[in-house]
Amino acid sequence: MKKVGVAILGLGVVGGGTYQILTQNREFYQKTQDVDIVVESVLELNRERALSLGVPAEKIMTNIAEVVCNPDVNIVVEVIGGIDAAKEYVLAALNAGKTVVTSNKELFCKYSHELERAAKRQNAGLYFEASCVGGVPIIRTLLDGLQANHITSMMGIINGTTNYILTKMSNEGMTYEDALKEAQRLGYAEANPTADVEGFDAAYKLSILSSLAFHTKVPFSKVFREGITQITQEAIADGKQLGYCLKLLAIGKQTDAGIEVRVHPTFVRKDHPLAAVNDSFNAVYLHGDAVDDVMLYGRGAGALPTGSAIVSDIIYAATHSESRYSTFKNTANADKSVNFPSDFSSAYYLRLSVTDRTGVLAKITNIFGKNNISIVEMQQKILDGDKAAVTFITHESRELAIRDAVSKINALEFASVDSVLRVVS
Amino acid sequence: MKKVGVAILGLGVVGGGTYQILTQNREFYQKTQDVDIVVESVLELNRERALSLGVPAEKIMTNIAEVVCNPDVNIVVEVIGGIDAAKEYVLAALNAGKTVVTSNKELFCKYSHELERAAKRQNAGLYFEASCVGGVPIIRTLLDGLQANHITSMMGIINGTTNYILTKMSNEGMTYEDALKEAQRLGYAEANPTADVEGFDAAYKLSILSSLAFHTKVPFSKVFREGITQITQEAIADGKQLGYCLKLLAIGKQTDAGIEVRVHPTFVRKDHPLAAVNDSFNAVYLHGDAVDDVMLYGRGAGALPTGSAIVSDIIYAATHSESRYSTFKNTANADKSVNFPSDFSSAYYLRLSVTDRTGVLAKITNIFGKNNISIVEMQQKILDGDKAAVTFITHESRELAIRDAVSKINALEFASVDSVLRVVS
């Protein structure tokens, strides 16, 4: 039976989960995969943590050189996160001819070209299933399951923290602040939640997934990004009444104008499969020219689900003789021939505060008309005194036309725009 | 660039879709997969059909020998269906050292051991993604995406015809007969619908999927099977009122008692992800020890979705140097050490017709009590005169205990059981 030695760099949440799966399931993999996967070493400065997970003392290393020079190590698992040390260690491992399995979305998003070059030079493998959507095998699916297809669009709920917060706001009427606190208490959100709530995490993943789906480098810098910190309970309540759930969607589209990539809170129709993706669950909804619509749903984070992705990559690497790389032109920047339009088309929800004066509504609808924005639905709710809240759902409109209309409405004396959200039906 | 020659056996719906994808996307695969896939020949007796799909006359064969002796053919796609000719041709192709890609669930379910033995002898590949759940890459996912996991359970809506019929009955109040006719009119159901509506098709697929999930041969004969022909509008209406959707589920479970495999109509709670799988869409919901819950959703049939699975298999075979086989002990019969218990545990829905006589309900609940069946919910509806309909939802109970109770209730003078359905929450 083939024996494969693994080193794990970093025994945090995911590293710990990976160690647990590999040790508990070792016999299972011998039986079902005909491969003996042995953890040969871990790189972890916190010796107590490693010992408490059951790592034998002699396998705990504190120096990357000890790991990459160990001839018994074939596969190096990087679960440190961030860029600096992670990048240095991954390159050291690849340069030493070790296959690398990583969960590091930021690293892979920003430096996949550099890592892949190093890997190919040494004929080493480079696997990154765990970098996107936790245990959901979306990358394997894009590379080996749906590769017959021109993927034309992709919509994903690919950040569990924000989905948890939005679910709480929607189902329990919590404010954004309270839902965030609850998420932090449960360990779903970090003390500094910026990477999640401002959409950076989702944008890294979208950059990776859309590069694979569209077979060309889609750099992080091309991803339009809007977070959920400005979401109000009023907007969520309006959406519910109109038949929508609010989700932070990562959207990638191949259109005649080029590749659209954007992360923003979005109203999704209640009967769309993505609307039922709640709490910390994630999902990716794809459309391919042959397969039509496909959705993958599961846990987007967590020690064991992310460990599942890492260990599946390890087994894949151990049981296939050639390494599998990305199937796009893996460069630092986008291909010059590919366009990333800054304008795009969507339906919109707008919520306005209006003072009840003659002609105000006429002025607003006049602005919409001049911007080629046509209205599907309008609701007016009288608030205190002469104030009213007016909500609009538009037909497909251009993003830049909406922004122009919003700034013109905000310039009116008796109206202001409280919320603008994109709508997917 | 590597050139790969393909032959397609049978240009029916799926064969036609496969031909279309391969010819339309040839350049796309050259660019993205670095492989040139060329249809070298088709085996089709209906020459007009082949010509109308654009197949050049010189590529239309009528004799399997012409196909398998062609040195330019590397991969043979079998989309004939059924057993006789399909099995003979697939074995001929494998024996000639050709890699085979098949969509034939009945063939693979019944003879995978024989086909795999022939394939391994010649070092040829054998791929069967298209045999289960159309375009949804569930087999690739089990083999290469979730292989780190002990899969403990699997629940699937894996027959589009029955899901379409049940959706129509539920959403539009159609009778079973009318919904079947509508499905036949749209081409979703065959003139003789037995294979679909009696659950044979789902049972073939469940046999294949659970063999892969549980790493041991699960023969078709071990699958408990109950179709949808007895489903009444009353039962569906009851379910709706209680918060359930009715689905034909294929269930595979690894329990301490052994492997449970069963296909039967099942009430699924409205908020379960499977409840939102409507019309001809399919989905498989899995639980693994590491990954937790995962669902794959998509088109379970159709020319292009099934063609997507076939062409993805072709590309996989063309771009990997080793062939990938099943990861279970592929034998004709089940391993003797594996148990397939005929009893299992589930919650149940029962609908009874009762004549209003003193003591009838007491006798019924007495039967439940003696069979260790406890009730979660009971509703009584008075019908004409002294007749009533009584519905029960039970706690988890044993299947054999329920059957015993049903026969005892049917033996009572003033009560009879109209519907028994299993319930998943």
pLDDT tens column, A30-65: 999 999 999 999 999 999 999 999 999 999 999 999
Whether B230 maps to a domain, the answer reads: yes
Q: Taking a contact as any Cβ pair under 8 Å apart, which residues of chain B between 200 and 219 contact chain A?
A: 215
Cβ contacts of B14 on chain A, cutoff 8 Å: none
Say which CATH number the domain at A47 has: 3.40.50.720
Coil/strand/helix, residue B240: helix
Which residue in chain B is spatially nearest to A294 when comparing CA positions? B298
**Same domain, residue pair B157 and B67:** no
Smallest Cβ–Cβ distance between A135 and the set B290, B298, B316 belongs to B290
Cβ contacts of B140 on chain A, cutoff 8 Å: 140-141, 144-145
What pLDDT is attached to residue B327? 80
pLDDT tens column, A233-268: 999 999 999 999 999 999 999 999 999 999 999 999
Closest C-alpha to A251, from A240, A265, A230: A265
What pLDDT is attached to residue A322? 85
Mean pLDDT value of segment A314-324? 92
Which residue in chain A is spatially nearest to B130 when comparing CA positions? A145
**Same domain, residue pair B126 and B13:** yes
Q: Which residue has the higher pLDDT, A385 or B132?
A: B132
pLDDT tens column, A327-384: 888 899 999 999 999 999 999 999 999 998 889 999 999 999 999 999 999 999 988 8
Run of H or E including A138: helix A138-140
Smallest Cβ–Cβ distance between A21 and the set B25, B28, B148 belongs to B148
Instruction: Return the residue in B33, B254, B286, B312 with the most chain A beta carbons within 10 A, the one to mutate for interface testing.
Output: B312
Whether A331 maps to a domain, the answer reads: no
**Please, are residues A263 and A347 in contact by the beta-carbon 8 Å criterion?**
no
**Same domain, residue pair A275 and A146:** yes
Are residues A140 and B135, on separate chains, in Cβ contact within 8 Å? no
How far, CA to CA in Å, does B196 sit from each of A368, B188, B248, B297, B323?
52, 10, 10, 19, 32
Closest C-alpha to A249, from A163, A336, A316: A163
Q: Rounded CA gap, B22 and B17, in Å?
A: 9
**Same domain, residue pair B113 and B165:** no
B305 touches chain A (CB under 8 A): yes
Are residues B315 and A148, on separate chains, in Cβ contact within 8 Å? yes
**Helix axes B160-172 and B176-185, enclosed angle (nearest 10):** 130
Q: Taking a contact as any Cβ pair under 8 Å apart, which residues of chain B between 101 and 160 contact chain A?
A: 129, 135-137, 140-141, 144-150
Q: Taking a contact as any Cβ pair under 8 Å apart, which residues of chain B between 242 and 301 contact chain A?
A: 271, 273, 276, 288-299
Are residues B150 and A21, on separate chains, in Cβ contact within 8 Å? no
What pLDDT is attached to residue A328? 86
pLDDT tens column, A280-311: 899 999 999 999 999 999 999 999 999 999 99
Chains A, B: CB pairs < 8 Å: 176
Query: A159: distance to nearest CA of chain B, Å?
Result: 16
Whether B144 maps to a domain, the answer reads: yes
Smallest Cβ–Cβ distance between A298 and the set B293, B311, B328 belongs to B293
Whether A335 maps to a domain, the answer reads: no
B191 touches chain A (CB under 8 A): no
**Same domain, residue pair A94 and A206:** no
**Same domain, residue pair A144 and A287:** yes
Candidates A87, A98, A105, A205; catalytic one: A205
Whether B247 maps to a domain, the answer reads: yes
A5 touches chain B (CB under 8 A): no
- Backbone phi, then psi, for A29, in 5-degree steps? -70, -30
Say which CATH number the domain at A192 has: 3.30.360.10
Per the structure block, which two tokens stand in for B32? 């993205």
Helices (H), B215-330: 233-242, 303-319
What pLDDT is attached to residue A385? 84
Q: Rounded CA gap, B399 and B395, in Å?
A: 12
Whether B337 maps to a domain, the answer reads: no
Are residues A296 and B295, on separate chains, in Cβ contact within 8 Å? yes
Whether B334 maps to a domain, the answer reads: no
**Same domain, residue pair B271 and B144:** yes
Pair type for strands B397-398 and B345-355: antiparallel
What pLDDT is attached to residue A2? 96
Helices (H), A243-298: none
Instruction: Return the residue in B147, B215, B314 with the most chain A beta carbons within 10 A, the one to mutate for interface testing.
Output: B147
Q: Rounded CA gap, B420 and B316, in Å?
A: 45
Are residues B290 and A304, on separate chains, in Cβ contact within 8 Å? yes
Smallest Cβ–Cβ distance between A145 and the set B31, B141, B293 belongs to B141
Tell me the pLDDT of chain A averaged across its residues. 96
What pLDDT is attached to residue B321? 87
In which domain, by residue range, is A173 found?
A: 138-299
Say which CATH number the domain at B394 has: 3.30.70.260
Cβ contacts of A273 on chain B, cutoff 8 Å: 276, 297
Candidates B205, B217, B247, B408; catalytic one: B205
Per the structure block, which two tokens stand in for A152? 């034309």
E strands present in B207-256 = 224-225, 244-255
Listed residues A284, A319, A354: the one ending a domain:
A319
**Same domain, residue pair B288 and B400:** no
Tens of each residue's pLDDT in chain B, 425 residues: 999 999 999 999 999 999 999 999 999 999 999 999 999 999 999 999 999 999 999 999 999 999 999 999 999 999 999 999 999 999 999 999 999 999 999 999 999 999 999 999 999 999 999 999 999 999 999 999 999 999 999 999 999 999 999 999 999 999 999 999 999 999 889 999 999 999 999 999 999 999 999 999 999 999 999 999 999 999 999 999 999 999 999 999 999 999 999 999 999 999 999 999 999 899 999 999 999 999 999 999 999 999 999 999 999 999 998 888 888 888 999 999 999 999 999 999 999 999 988 899 999 999 999 999 999 999 999 888 889 999 999 999 999 999 999 999 999 999 999 999 999 97
Q: Would you say residue A325 has pLDDT above 90? A: no
Cβ contacts of B293 on chain A, cutoff 8 Å: 298-299
Q: Taking a contact as any Cβ pair under 8 Å apart, which residues of chain B between 28 and 47 contact chain A?
A: 28-29, 31-33
**Same domain, residue pair B209 and B113:** no
Cβ contacts of A147 on chain B, cutoff 8 Å: 32-33, 312, 315-316
**Same domain, residue pair B294 and B149:** yes
Per the structure block, which two tokens stand in for A21? 């799966």
Q: Would you say residue A169 has pLDDT above 80? A: yes
Q: Which DSSP symbol is given to A144? A: I
Classify residue B18 as left (phi > 0), alpha (psi -120 to 50) or beta.
Answer: alpha
Smallest Cβ–Cβ distance between A141 and the set B21, B137, B297 belongs to B137
- The CA-to-CA distance between both ends of chain B, in Å, stands at 52
Provide the domain count of chain B: 3
**Please, are residues A127 and A322 in contact by the beta-carbon 8 Å criterion?**
no
Which residues have C-beta within 8 Å of that of residue B251, sequence separation ≥ 6? B153, B154, B155, B156, B206, B260, B261, B262, B263, B264, B266, B424
Q: Rounded CA gap, B214 and B146, in Å?
A: 12
- Backbone phi, then psi, for A50, in 5-degree steps? -65, -45
**Same domain, residue pair B149 and B286:** yes
Whether A131 maps to a domain, the answer reads: yes
Per the structure block, which two tokens stand in for A115? 């890592």
Question: Number of helices (H) and strands (E), helices first, in chain A?
Answer: 15, 17
pLDDT tens column, A131-159: 999 999 999 999 999 999 999 999 999 99
Residue type, B359: G
**Please, are residues B368 and B351 in contact by the beta-carbon 8 Å criterion?**
no
What pLDDT is attached to residue B329? 84
Which residue in chain A is spatially nearest to B292 when comparing CA positions? A305
Query: B308: distance to nearest CA of chain A, Å?
Result: 5
B205 is catalytic: yes
**Same domain, residue pair A149 and A235:** yes
Q: What is the DSSP string of B357-405?
A: -TTHHHHHHHHHHHTT--EEEEEEEE-STTEEEEEEEESSEEHHHHHHH
B192 touches chain A (CB under 8 A): no
Grade residue A119 by pLDDT with cuts at 50, 70 and 90.
very high
pTM: 0.96
Query: B36: distance to nearest CA of chain A, Å?
Result: 13
What pLDDT is attached to residue B383? 86
Question: Number of helices (H) and strands (E), helices first, in chain B?
Answer: 15, 17
